[in-house]
Amino acid sequence: MKTILIRKVMGETLRELRVGASMTLREVSVASMVSLGYLSEIERGHKEASSEVLFSISAALGVSLSDLLAMVSEKIAEIEAETPHRVALAA
């Protein structure tokens, strides 16, 4: 089974939202008060952001945190649906 990295899906979603809003990394960085380097790491899926940081970034993008989390959840559900599950049962 393929490992699902939530930080990777989160980063891809944030990048899609940023590009959709026609914003640069710098603009989101300033609006969210998250450093440019850290924001870049989050978008690339290299760092996991705290809920406070995600709230700040989502607000800068004009999206509620709950909507952001719902988008990420939907993407993860799609990935799971494409991947056959193997469940190990304890004896």
pLDDT category of residue 39 using cuts at 50, 70 and 90:
very high
If one counts the domains in the chain, the total is 1
In a domain, 24, yes or no: yes
Residue for token pair 């699902």: 4
**Report field, pTM of the whole predicted structure over 0.95:** no
In a domain, 1, yes or no: no
Domain extent, residue 64, equals 6-82
Sequence-ordered alpha helix ranges (H) in the chain: 6-20, 25-32, 36-43, 51-60, 65-82
- For residue 72, give the DSSP letter: H
Structure tokens that stand for 10 in this block: 């989160």
pLDDT above 90 (res 5):
no
In a domain, 88, yes or no: no
pLDDT category of residue 53 using cuts at 50, 70 and 90:
very high
**What CATH number corresponds to the domain at position 61?**
1.10.260.40
